[in-house]
Amino acid sequence: MTGQKNSLSGLLLVDKPAGVTSFEGVRRVRQVLRVRKAGHLGTLDPFATGLLPICLGDATKLTPYLLGADKTYLARLKLGEETDTLDVTGKVVARCDRLPGEAEISQVAAALQGEMLQTPPMYSAVHHQGERLYQLARRGQKVEVPPRRVVIHHMAVEEIELPYVNLRVTCSKGTYIRVLAADLGKALGCGAHLVGLRRLAVGTFQVDTALPLAVLEEPSKLEEVLARIIPMSRCLPEIKAVRLQAAELRRLQQGQAVPCPLPGFLSGEPVKVVHNNDLYAMAEVRQHHHETWLAPLRVFART
């Protein structure tokens, strides 16, 4: 059984509780399942809860394809107060007694949708000259951080109970909901900070299908946990699958390009090479002399 656990590969959806870092969540999963390699698909702040997808074993090689997925959050804001960290963990640095009405809040929230430049907050894990920004911030240092282009696909007011506002946000990778909360408060003229955050989805994966972190640590639940690991062949549902004959499969795994057996693929398009419901490789479609080929990008050891 131990050897089997060490060879586990796939994606495990974890529902992270408040008060636990994303790194600690990964550490606990590694300990329980005895896997050597594991990594999450995007940090959740310690006070935040919700979906933390964790790649196990060979599935860590799929991280570049999974990290770009959009994310959906339920965010709770408090209007009328700004903090130095932009969230509930910081010190209040400004207050405002005048709070906007419900119609204005909904109108301004709708206007913040779309593509925008967003500057990462100082209290974040972004690197600057070899150090994390939060390390500099704790020493009282401030540095210029270049803004990043993000997309707010959808933002809607779920509930208003002043001074609190609940928002549902779907956004691109790299978006800081804390910054979005502060921007909303600034646009409303009263300031705001984030007091609660729950991640509901990462790409097509939903928190409703995730296991609470505490369940993983119950010995009696081990078989259930193992059964919930998503196989690598199903980790990228939006990427097309190609099935090859045994000879082409061997050549691809040896690093050689092979003819693409199906029409309709675009040059540069990534595909997953699947055999017997197992993922054998990630490949890229390439055009050469009016022929379509599959060039291996990542190959996986399979017996």
Transcribe 142-157 into DSSP letters. Answer: ------EEEEEEEEEE
Tokens of 229: 């690991």
Q: How far apart are CA 294 and CA 67, in angstroms?
A: 23
Other CB atoms within a 10 A radius of the CB of residue 37 amount to 14
Continuous segment of H or E residues that includes residue 253? helix 246-253
- Is 208 labeled as catalytic in the residue annotation? no
Other CB atoms within a 10 A radius of the CB of residue 245 amount to 11
Q: What are phi and psi of 37, to 5 degrees?
A: -115, 130
Q: How far is CA 114 from CA 28, 157, 166, 177, in A?
A: 37, 16, 19, 14
- Please tell me which residue in 15, 45, 58, 87 is annotated as part of the active site: 45
Q: How far apart are CA 18 and CA 94, in angstroms?
A: 26
Tokens of 69: 């997925």
Q: Return the active site residues.
A: 45
